[in-house]
Structure 1
Amino acid sequence: MRAVSRQHKPTWGPCATGVGRSARLRPVGDEAASRTRMATSDDAEAIAGIYNQGIAERIATFETEPRSAADIARQLAEKGDRFPTVVVERDGCIVAWAGAGPYRSRPAYAGVAEHSVYVDRAARGTGAGRLALDALAAAYRERGFWKLCSRIFPENAASITLHARAGFRVVGVYRRHGKLGDE
């Protein structure tokens, strides 16, 4: 698992979920079709659907049990405005999301958040992940965070590439850090 980090400078002024790759959505360059916004409890079902794809693929999270919309709604409520989740919406459908939580509980880390980005299978490669990541970074800058970090499985080449292109860098590699099922 790779640990990546980007430090922010203090001067920062009918959905396709679950559909195979053949149902590819149009690229994000069509601004009229894509927008980012803060997630609400109404988005919980779509967020759960995308997250459950990541759980099933086994290259994005150590979670093994699918999450329900109720699980996600509860999590959104618990995080509140301090740790918001953002979504990318295209033609009225959620195609990606990004969220974060505290990095550590000590006060020294109050401006550091650990984040994740998930993209619906049908929207991968269209720029939706980058939109989600950039929107998340902006939302956290506005809340006084100076750093976002993430842990990315080495098998998750798309996420590694996304983060590198967004200015993150590898700061370490965890070896034998977790065990996913019998693997």
Structure 2
Amino acid sequence: MKIITINKTNFSEVQSIYQDGIATGVATFETVVPDWDYWNNNHLPIGRILAIKDDQYLGWASLSATSKRKVYSGVAEVSVYVSKHFRGQKVGDFLLKKLIEISEQHNIWTLQAGIMRANTASLKLHTNNQFRVIGYKEKIGQLNGIWLDNVILERRSKTVGC
């Protein structure tokens, strides 16, 4: 596996994988895949990564700001999505480890994730990568008319902001 940067040219691959996530009903509250402009404006310029192998797009990960306030400039939210064709093949682990590495290279000391309670694979992925559960947001959003909780996790860097 290798990593390339997500850009406007390869964004259709990101959209396809994002749609796979939407279809699970446990990956996101979104019901429509965003277009490039919306996605681009809501993600940090760093940590936009797409995993590929043998010209196949396996999954993607990205970082988003949690706040515009300067004091939180070292805090970012992670997103990790894996193509339905490559789940269970350690693609998510590969992407999350790369995202952690990139975040620390750019002085990000805390990573956060909000994961639907039913998304046990993603919860396990994050806890296996030193994220800890810090709580949950009860009935934070609706999907298909059903109120759902989000489990909140964070990972504090051991090398940045110590």
TM-score by length of 2: 0.83
Question: Matched residues in 2 for 1:79 and 1:102: separation?
Answer: 7
Shift of 1:180: 1.2
CA-based RMSD of the aligned residues comes to 1.7
Which residue of 56, 66, 72 maps to 1:109?
72
What code does the residue aligned with 1:76 have? Answer: N
Which residue of 58, 75, 87 maps to 1:95?
58
Question: Contact 2:5 / 2:50 at 8 angstroms: preserved in 1?
Answer: yes
Greater helix share, 1 or 2?
Answer: 1
Question: Contact 1:44 / 1:73 at 8 angstroms: preserved in 2?
Answer: no
Q: Report whether the alignment pairs 1:66 with 2:33.
A: yes
Question: Matched residues in 2 for 1:73 and 1:87: separation?
Answer: 18
TM-score by length of 1: 0.74
Structure 2: tracts of 5 or more residues without a match? 147-162
Question: Contact 2:44 / 2:63 at 8 angstroms: preserved in 1?
Answer: no
Question: Contact 1:37 / 1:88 at 8 angstroms: preserved in 2?
Answer: yes
Q: Report whether the alignment pairs 1:176 with 2:143.
A: no
What code does the residue aligned with 2:30 have? Answer: E
Shift of 1:102: 0.5
Give 1:52's aligned residue: 19
Distance 1:60 1:80, change over 3 A: closer
Q: Which of 1 and 2 has greater Rg? A: 1
Which residue of 86, 103, 107 maps to 1:140?
103
Question: Matched residues in 1 for 2:70 and 2:131: separation?
Answer: 23
Give 1:154's aligned residue: 117
Question: Matched residues in 1 for 2:124 and 2:118: separation?
Answer: 11
Greater strand share, 1 or 2?
Answer: 2
Question: Contact 1:44 / 1:72 at 8 angstroms: preserved in 2?
Answer: yes
Distance 1:65 1:74, change over 3 A: closer
Question: Matched residues in 2 for 1:77 and 1:175: separation?
Answer: 28
Shift of 1:118: 0.2
Aligned length: 146
What code does the residue aligned with 1:130 have? Answer: D
Question: Matched residues in 2 for 1:175 and 1:152: separation?
Answer: 12
Structure 1: tracts of 5 or more residues without a match? 1-33
Shift of 1:79: 4.1
Question: Matched residues in 2 for 1:100 and 1:134: separation?
Answer: 13
